[in-house]
Amino acid sequence: MDVVGALPKNLHIITLDLPGHGESDRNPSQDLSMEGQANTVHRFVDAFGLDQKPFHLVGTSMGGGIAGLYAATYRKNIALLTLFCPFGTYYTMKAFLEGRNMLVPKTMDDFREMMKINSYQYKIGKLKVPDKLLYCALVERKTHNDFLQKLSDELTRKEKWDVLQRRLGNISAPTHVIWGREDDVFDVSGADILREGVPNCRLDILDDCGHVVTVERTRQAVAVFMNFREEVLNGYKK
Query: Which residues form the catalytic set?
Result: 61, 183, 211
The Cα-based distances of 84 to 143, 144, 192 in angstroms read 28, 25, 13
Residue 209 near residue 112, CB atoms below 8 Å: no
Within a 10 A sphere around the Cβ of 75, how many other Cβ atoms?
Answer: 13
Pairing of strands 175-180, 201-206: parallel
Using a CB cutoff of 8 Å and minimum separation of 24, what contacts does 30-36 make? 32/150, 32/151, 32/154, 33/154, 33/160, 34/62, 34/65, 34/66, 34/69, 34/87, 34/88, 34/154, 34/160, 34/163, 34/164, 35/69, 35/163
